[in-house]
Structure 1
Amino acid sequence: MEVVVIGGGPAGRSAAMEASQLEAEVTLIEKDKIGGKCLHKGCMVVCGLNDVAKFYLDSQNYQKQGMISEIPEINFSEVTKRLRDTTGKIKKVLEFETHSTGVEIINGEAHIQKDRVVVDNKEIPYDKLLIATGSRAKIPPIRGVENAVTYADLPYLEDLPEKLLIVGSGVIAAEFASIFSSFGSEVRVFCRSQFLKMLDPEVKEYVIKNLLPGVDITEGARVNEISNEGLKIAQQTVEGQVLLATGLTPNSEIAQNMVKIGDHKEILVDSHMQTSNPCVYAAGDVIGGVTNTPISRMEGVIAARNACGISSTMDYSWTPQSISLYYDVSFLSPQDHQAGTVATIPGSAGPGSFWRVLEGKTGLTKVSVDLDEGFITGVSSVSPSSRTNMAYLAKMIRDGYKAPDFDDFLEVHPSTDAVYKLLRFFGEYI
């Protein structure tokens, strides 16, 4: 069985390694860098910048409380340089890991023919093809949009923007608003619709008030024009560097003439990650839907298994998601929202939140439960540990755990996880 995977990001790399471990002959083609958008332009970039932002905010807090005498200065050009150095080193680790499973990696741009892929005049035949070409920043039809930057440009910035104008309303907009406002930039966010509409309203209010306190957010804003000086909204001109955070566009052009493409340029697949062409599978951002790294990895694994003759189905229920701010903002709900009885408590003091107790800013946790059946129907948590906690909680809920099952739950202390406290509370009434 010869399997060719196009794209070396989370979906493609996971698919290639899975197929190789299932004894297929696997060739992975990547035209840029192994690791894809996540490592070099997306989540890991946010992770690196966010670590520096948290350190800077903590330093300000420690100085305010009289525990240190000076606040360190940020050398922004050195931050972005070290960021690129670090992602480059991680790339080498990923290459070694991929090679070690028996995958052949080819660098170059792939062109698909009927039963083969061509890279630099080299023909690579395949029995099954897996497309994991990811996505790119979505560029809205705004006059002068070429004057704006996107997330892909941020790792190469030399100077910290004095004023940053973010166009967008989702996770990317919130994360960069948090990072750059923490660094000292004057940040404004312009949303065509509602800001962070995926969040519970109470959680959203907490986020805006406590985690984005210096950020000016305008909802229902329509940007008319972008220039080197800033942007124009209605009749008002606002000065600053414009950053587009208006979503993602799937890189599906490579498959335009061989599989069905959706209205948003996504490659259409079934629950087995199979396209309209029975020999072709697709996974990751190129198929749209929930675009995050764990989902892409799982889609890649599912696609590889099916391509190798092992029936496997993708399950999107209870997908844990998060936003990287000073505290992680994590949330979990089924695809079809279910009602339940709701309880909310402040976040716990502990690692990462202890020195915010005096300000009353330790986070927030909110849980909803169906008291008749004991089913957990929704969870939101703002805390330093919520990202990790939410992943395990999602697995437990999928496996049938109910609120009363947490009666004998033992946490590792000290912890900032407050979810189990609420579930114990609900368990007493069920």
Structure 2
Amino acid sequence: MKMVIIGGGPAGRSAAMEAAQLDAEVTLIEKEHIGGTCLHEGCMVICGLNDVVRFSKDSNNYQKLGIISKKPQIDYSQVADGIKKITGKIENVLKHETRQSGAEIVLGVAEIKDGNVEVNGKNYPYDKLLIATGSRPFIPPIPGVENALTYKDVLDLKEVPENLNIVGSGVIAAEFAGIFSSLGSQVKILCRKQFLSSIDPEIKNYIREHLLKGVDIQENVDVNEIIPEGASTSNGHVDGSVFLATGMTPNSEIASDMVELGSKGGIMVNEQMKTSNPSIYAAGDVVGTVSNTPVARMEGVVAARNACNISSTMDYHLIPQSLTLYYPVSFLDSGIEKSEDEFDVRIRGSAGPGSFWHVLDGETGFTKISSDLKTGDITRVSSISPASRTTIPYLAKMVKDGYKTTDFDDFIETHPSTDAIYKLLHFLSKYG
């Protein structure tokens, strides 16, 4: 079976490796970089920047405590160059892994033509085709929007902007606000509606008061015009660079006349990642489900298995998610409507690796768990701590497998740890 995959990001690459291992003849086509947006412009770039931010903030705290005498100076251009070198090295590893699995990598712009994909003048016939072309920044119809930056421009900046006005209200807006405010920018977040509207209000308040302290967050603001020196808003004029964090647009144009698209431009798929065209599958950001790299990988695997006639379905229940700030903000929601038997417990973050030196200023994080006291079901979890991004996915798996709060009565944690989740679960196991 010949399978052609367009897009070398997390979804496409995972699909290529899975299909190749299932004995398909796989061609993976990528127009620019293996690893996609996540590696070269998104998640990994934010991780690289945030590591430097954490070092900078820790150094500032150590200076206040008299531990060090001088705070190091950050050279942003060197940071950007270093991130590009590191992501380039990671890309080489990904290429090697992909080829080792048996998939062929072809670099170039793909065009779909009558059962073939053409790249650089060469045809690649397929029995099954997977579209995994990702997404790009959504550019709102604002006069002068061409003067604004997006995440694609971050590593090309020569220095940290003195003033940065971020248009948006979601995860991307929060993450870049945390990074640039910590690097010295005066940051405003201009939200058309509410800031981080899908996050638990108590967690959101902690983010505003502790992790984005100093960031001016303005809600219910319309941006009327963007100019090189700033923007005109419904709250008045703002000076400085404008950064768009206004969401994503699926790169679905390549197959728009071959498959059914949704109202927001994403390729419509079923739970097997099949499109309306029986020979075409789609996965990742281009389908517009959950913009999340692990989800994209799993969608790619599901698509590859079904293309190889191995039945597999995608499960979007209990997906752990996170925000990359000084401390990771991680959360899990069962989607179950809150009942009168649901009980909330909360605790300040623990002292331990990554938070020890913040005990004196109280900046150790915050964790909250909701549970149904009658059934013992864990319904919602939100955690802000150095360990939260590691802890939450395992908890999600356990909840999926039917674990109740009572199953944590004899739970033994590793120590030292900044994970406060086990403390709350241990309490709930006795209280329930």
Q: What TM-score bracket applies, with the shorter chain setting the length?
A: over 0.9
Unaligned runs of 5+ in 1: none
Secondary structure of 1:48's counterpart equals helix
Aligned twin of 1:429: 431
Question: Which residue number in structure 2 is paired with residue 370 of structure 1?
Answer: 372
SS in 1 for 2:395: helix
2:239 equivalent to 1:206: no
Q: Say whether residues 1:245 and 2:245 are aligned partners.
A: yes
Between the aligned residues of both structures, percent identity stands at: 61
What do you get for the CA RMSD once the two structures are aligned? 0.8
For 1:212, the aligned partner's letter is L
What is aligned with 1:107? Answer: 107
Kindly tell me: are residues 308 and 338 of structure 1, through their superposed partners in 2, closer, same or farther at Cα, counting changes over 3 Å?
A: farther
Contact 2:329–2:385, Cα closer than 8 Å, also in 1: yes
Find the counterpart in structure 2 of residue 193 from structure 1.
193
CA distance in 2, matches of 1:60, 1:235: 33
Residue in structure 1 matching 2:349, options 327, 347, 354: 347
Q: Aligned partners of 1:22, 1:402: CA distance in 2, in Å?
A: 37
Secondary structure at 1:86 match in 2: helix
Q: Distance in 2 between matches of 1:21 and 1:152?
A: 33
Q: What TM-score does the superposition give when structure 2 sets the normalisation length?
A: 0.99
C-alpha offsets along residues 339-386 of structure 1, whole Å, 9 cap, x if unaligned? 421011101110000000000111000000001010001000000010
TM-score after normalising by structure 1: 0.99
Q: Is the 8 A contact 2:165 2:241 kept in 1?
A: yes
CA distance in 2, matches of 1:114, 1:176: 43
- Provide the secondary structure at the position in 1 that maps to 2:431: coil
**Counterpart of 2:322?**
322
Q: CA contact under 8 A between 2:221 and 2:235: conserved in structure 1? A: no
Instruction: Give the C-alpha shift of residue 235 in structure 1.
Output: 6.5
Letter of the structure 1 residue corresponding to residue 164 of structure 2: L
CA contact (8 A) 2:166 2:187 kept: yes
Cα distance in 2 for partners of 1:62, 1:154 equals: 28
Query: Does residue 1:287 correspond to 2:287, yes or no?
Result: yes
Q: Please tell me the residue identity of whatever aligns with 2:430.
A: E
Q: CA separation in 2, counterparts of 1:91 and 1:8?
A: 10
Shift of 1:234: 2.4
After TM superposition, where is structure 1 displaced by more than 4 Å over at least 4 residues in a row?
none
Aligned to 2:35: 35
For 1:366, what is the secondary structure of its paired residue? strand
Give CA-to-partner distance per residue, 1:156-197, whole Å, 9 cap, x none.
111110100000000000000000000011000000011011
Q: Does structure 1 retain, via aligned residues, the 8 Å contact 2:259–2:267?
A: yes
Residues of 1 paired with 2:75 and 2:49: CA distance?
12
In structure 2, what is the Cα distance between the partners aligned to 1:128 and 1:234? 50
Which residue is equivalent to 1:21? 21
Alignment of 1:12 onto 2:3: no
Alpha-carbon separation, structure 2, partners of 1:290 and 1:129? 22
CA distance, structure 1, for counterparts of residue 85 and residue 254 of structure 2: 30
1:235–1:426 distance in 2 versus 1, CA, 3 Å: closer
CA distance in 1, matches of 2:51, 2:281: 37
How is 1:84-233 mapped onto 2 (pairs within 5 angstroms)? 84-233=84-233
Structure 2: gaps spanning 5 or more residues: none
